[in-house]
Amino acid sequence: MGYSKTLAAGLFAMLFLAPAVLATDPDPLQDFCVADLDGKAVSVNGHPCKPMSEDGDDFLFSSKLAKAGNTSTPNGSTVTELDVAEWPGTNTLGVSMNRVDFALGGHQPAAHPSPCHRDRHRDERVVRAGETFLIPRGLMHFQFNVGKTEASMVVSFNSQNPGIVFVPLMLFGSNPPIPTPVLTKALRVEAGVVELLKSKFAAGF
C-alpha cells in the first residue's frame, strides 16, 4: 500500500523509514457509493451513499489541482487536498489526490496515519522532474526542495481520506499539550529544550 508522487518540476530529496507492518484498506464492495457528506447513518468505511448525480458531477472534479498553492508559509510549502470531502465519488473507492507546491528550500515533514513502524532504516532519493516515487503507507517522510527553482508534485493516495500527521506539530503543538516530562524523557533532552520547541508551535503552523 502507498501512494506515488509524480513531480511536475524541480528537485527533492526524500527520506523515510522502512515498514515493519503493512495494512490495506478493504477492497470496495460496491461499484460506487457517492458520499452523502451530510449523512448521519453509521457507515463502516467512509460516508453513507446517496444517489449519483445525473450530470456526473460526483465523479468529475474541476481544475483545483491545476492552481499552484501559496508557498509563503513557515515551511515553504503548501498542500492542496482533493479527497472525499470535496470529491464524493471517491467514497469507498480508496483513492484521493493532493498537489504540493514548494518554494525554494520548502519542506514537508509528515506521515499519513497507519500501523506502527519500528524499523529505523532510512531511504533517501533525489527525485527529478517527471519522476515518480512511492512512499508506503504510514511511513514518516519528508520532502525538501533542493532544486534551484520552485517545484510542484502531484500525489495520489490509495485512500479516500488518507489523513496527515505533521510530526513537529503533533509533538510540540498538540492541544492539550503533551506533558513536558514525557517529551524530555522521550527525546532525551532538558525541559528547556522542550519548552523552546513548544513555544515555536504554540500557535500551530
State the binding site: 98, 112, 141
**Least distance (Å) from ligand NAG to the CB of residue 104?**
15
Residue 49, classed as helix, strand or coil, is strand
Check binding of 68 to ligand NAG (CB under 6 A).
Answer: no
3-class secondary structure per residue, 113-133? CCCCCCCCCEEEEEEECCCEE
Supply 65's cell numbers.
489541482
Write the CB contacts of 90 (distance below 8 Å, at least 6 apart in sequence).
35, 83, 84, 96, 160
Q: Which of 27, 72, 134, 175 touches ligand NAG (CB under 6 A)? A: 72
- Cell 520548502 found at: 106
Q: For ligand NAG, which residue of 77, 96, 114, 161 counts as binding (CB under 6 A)?
A: 77
Smaller CB distance to ligand NAG: residue 59 or 166? Answer: 166
Task: By CB under 6 A, name the one of 4, 15, 166, 198 that touches ligand NAG.
Answer: 166
- Segment holding 154, helix H or strand E: strand 151-157
> Pick from 7, 110, 153, 183: which binds ligand NAG (CB under 6 A)?
110
Q: Which residue from 6, 43, 45, 73 is in contact with ligand NAG, where contact means CB under 6 A?
A: 73
Among 74, 118, 176, 203, binds ligand NAG (CB under 6 A): 74
Q: Which of residues 89-108 bind ligand NAG (CB under 6 A)?
A: 108
Long-range contact pairs involving 22-26 (C-beta distance under 8 Å, separation at least 24): 22/115, 22/136, 22/137, 23/114, 23/115, 23/137, 24/137, 24/158, 25/1, 25/94, 25/158, 25/159
φ, ψ for residue 144, nearest 5 deg: -140, 125
Mark the segment that binds ligand NAG (CB under 6 A) among 66-74, 89-97, 122-130, 194-202.
Answer: 66-74
- The answer to the question of residue 78 lying near ligand NAG (CB under 6 A) is yes
What is the smallest separation between the CB atom of 108 and ligand NAG, expressed in angstroms? Answer: 4
The 3-state DSSP class for residue 137 equals: coil
Instruction: Report phi then psi at 132, rounded to 5.
Output: -120, 140
Q: For ligand NAG, how many residues bind (rule: CB under 6 A)?
A: 13
C-alpha 134/C-alpha 132 separation (Å) is 7
- Interface with ligand NAG includes 174 (CB under 6 A)? no
Residue 71: CB minimum distance to ligand NAG, A = 8
Residues that bind ligand NAG (CB under 6 A): 70, 72-75, 77-79, 108-110, 166, 205
